Amino acid sequence: MGTTRKPSALGTSIPPTRDLTLDLARVACVMVVLVMHLLQTGIGTTPDGRLVASFPLERQPWFAAASWVGQIMPLFFVVGGFAAALGWRSAQLRGTTPNGFIRARVLRLTQPSLPLFLFFAVVLTVVSFLPVPTALVADAAVGAGSPLWFLAAYLLCQTAVPSMMRLHTSVPRTTIAVLAALVVAVDVARFTTGERDIGLLNLAFVWILVQQIGFWYADGWFDRRTPLALVAIVAGCYLALGALTAWGPYNNNMLYNLNPATLPLVLLGLAQACLLRLLRRPLTRLMETRSVRAFVLFTGSRLMTIYLWHLPVILFVKGIELALPGLSPNPETAAWWWSRLPVLAVVLAVLYVVTLLLARWEVIGPLPPAPAKAIVAAAWVLVFIPPFGVMWFGLDLWWALLGALSYAIAVPLLRSSIGLKTPSTFFRAPS
């Protein structure tokens, strides 16, 4: 038996140990987010001709129940934890230090995000001089920037990987228990005091705990459970969700439990990990289909670009709709819902063009030795603050400008070897 599978439709060799169902899960998560945001984005006109933003999907009576399935960001962090565990173990075998590992992980998030912040800075600067309704611009900016919370959360998780993997190796159950206790403690403090800001602590605790579930997935814990046991865990998670939302302080709409992150997302992550394992066999067969595998691997290679740019593209397509008479039915009408299918096709086509232009920013390429820890730490702070601010306050011109400046500084810092005795290599645009 060879060391690699048959080359994929993309001409690349796939390691035989790679679980392609996880690649499928990552792509599916982002596609679900894209479709949901498309259905959530509505811009209509009032009787006097003013443009107003609306959220058609959230107004549907079934949306809260659907969010128990459609809120798939926990699964993304589970899959991210699986990949991080394997990545850290591989890095250790190569002799990579924790600082070097963190530098590479932060750069993989930062470099593709730089063009987006530059785009926001330019567009919002130009729009500020145009006679466009201020409220509409503010709503569009906040909407376009809303996915950036992911950068802040994922930065925290990826930075914690070396430390959390050490704890996972030495005291796995204690680590899970302590993280769960911290999540509950933050939620209790937040809801008993009414201070929503306390919930910001769970940006770290919730998502690191969900990432930890991914570590257990990578270790085969879910493989060793029987299907009946996995079904029982899923049922227990959803029963607990029902109790927490019926008698506890949590909203039954899982979208509202996202920022600040809360305990229900941990339960969703555990349930989704079990469901992913239960579905491994049919998903594996699906990934053996050449066309599906080619789509998943092609999309996965530019997934960060797709995630970061999908809402700006949706708003761009919406602008074209509004500019062309008859193409933009008022939201929540039957015509609007039916029109989402062709609009989705247009959005995917435009996103494809965007990835052709920008996916190269996802390619890190060869790097010199990692810069000093203080340089990596400084770059991390520069990278973390803008998406955190956008998450909490909403995107506006000043956050866009700060993000563009911070990321423009952080990327070359991370690509350098400043602080070491070896000559530093400054930033070059990815080829």
Q: What is the 3-state secondary structure (H, E, C) of 286-348?
A: HHCCHHHHHHHHHHHCCHHHHHHHHHHHHHHHHHHHHHCCCCCCCCCCHHHHHHHHHHHHHHH
**Amino acid in the structure at residue 100:** G
Q: Where are the alpha helices (DSSP H) in 196-279?
A: 202-218, 227-247, 263-278
Domain segments of the chain: what residues?
20-415
Give the pLDDT score at 131: 82
Q: What is the largest CA-CA distance in the chain?
A: 71
| Token pair listed for 345 | 């096709």
Give tens-digit pLDDT for 82-108.
Answer: 999 999 999 999 999 999 999 999 999
Q: Which amino acid is at 327?
A: L
Q: Are 410 and 103 in contact (CB under 8 A)?
A: no
> What gap in Å lies between CA 78 and CA 274, rounded to an integer?
11
Beta-bridged to residue 53, according to DSSP, are 43
**Amino acid 55: pLDDT:** 81
The pLDDT assigned to 270 comes to 98
> With a cut of 50, which residues of the chain have pLDDT below it?
1-12, 422-429, 431
SS3 47: coil
For residue 261, give both structure tokens: 């992150």
According to DSSP, the β-strands at 51-54 and 42-45 are antiparallel
**202 within 8 A of 187, measured Cβ to Cβ:** yes
CA atoms within 13 A on the CB side of 236: 9
What pLDDT was estimated at residue 389? 96
Contact 379, 413 (CB under 8 A): yes
For the stretch 205-245, pLDDT in tens is 999 999 999 999 999 999 999 999 999 999 999 999 999 99
Structure confidence at residue 427 (pLDDT): 45
- CA atoms within 13 A of residue 296's CA, in its CB half-sphere: 23
Distance CA 235, CA 374 (A): 46
What tokens were used for 295? 């789509």
Nearest Cα residue to 156 out of 384, 365, 431: 384
Give residue 15's Cα distance to chain centre.
Answer: 25
Alpha-carbon gap, residue 13 to 44, rounded angstroms? 48
- Report pLDDT for 8: 42
Give the residue among 342, 339, 337, 328 at the shortest CA–CA distance from 44. 328
CA atoms of 127 and 136, how far apart (whole Å): 11
* Contact between 419 and 374 (Cβ < 8 Å): yes
Contact 387/410 with Cβ under 8 angstroms? no
- 58: DSSP letter: G
